[in-house]
Each structure stands twice: as structure tokens, then as C-alpha cells.
Structure 1
Amino acid sequence: MALIEMIALKNVLSSEFVERVHAFFSENGPLSKAKNFEFRPQQQEMAARVAQALEEERHLVIEAGTGVGKSLAYL
């Protein structure tokens, strides 16, 4: 299997941790019970990518627009 195919395959596969983070930020996830919660797909995607990077013990640089949750992500 070529390196590019392996990288593509790894990006498609997700772990239980990444799936749980994705679910946490979903429209009906636990976070949705918080006062003034507003579902933002970009925020959900960013959280899942951060979870994946943590799990794989690698660095991640994210560029995101206003309202995605970068300030909270810094914490």
C-alpha cells in the first residue's frame, strides 16, 4: 500500500475518542444542553480534528473563522 493511500485511509478511519468528541459537539449531544448553545458544524469538525491530533500525539494548526471556538480551544 502506498504512503498516500495509507494517509488517506487513516484520515477516513476514526477512533472511539474522536467519535465521542464529535458526538459531544453534535446538535443533540451533551453540550447542546448548555444555556445559549448554538450548533456550529465547523466547531464540531475542529473539536474532532483536535481530538484526533491528541490521540495521534501530533501537532495541529487550525485556521478558522469567527465563531468557531478558537478562543476556547486555546484553553
Structure 2
Amino acid sequence: MERSDATAAAIDPVGRVFIAAKEGVHVFDPTGRLCGVLLNPTPTPAVALSIDPAKKTLTYQTPESQFSRPLK
């Protein structure tokens, strides 16, 4: 089995867990079940993830760039 090499993590206000790995951001519900994987917007994995509860956004940061995605 290949390692995921998780690089960053964040938790939103409703308890979802976001884990950045080389294939994308894995999203888990509050009970720990995998909800899906958000594909990486760049070939470089994230070095940081952050959640802005006021704007309801997930920010994905690489050494070269930063991306934001709305959360539902």
C-alpha cells in the first residue's frame, strides 16, 4: 500500500475534517467517514489548509500559490 503523505489538516465549524495529501484534499464527516476527495488544483500538494467560518471558505496554500473554495 502506498503512503498518503498528508501535508496539512483543518476542521470546519460543523466538524468536517479536511486532510491534504498528494492526490487531493480528503474530506471526512464528523463521524470519520470519507465524504470525498477534492482534487489538487496544482501538481504541488498543499502546505497549509485553513477554514474561514465567516466567509465559509476552505483555503488551500502551496509554496507557489493560494486557492479558495466555498464550503456548503
Compute the TM-score of the two structures, normalised by the length of structure 1. Answer: 0.28
Compute the TM-score of the two structures, normalised by the length of structure 2. Answer: 0.29
When Rg is computed on C-alpha atoms for both structures, the one with the higher figure is 1
Q: Which has the higher contact order (CA 8 A, sep 6+)?
A: 1
**Whose strand fraction is larger, Structure 1's or Structure 2's?**
2
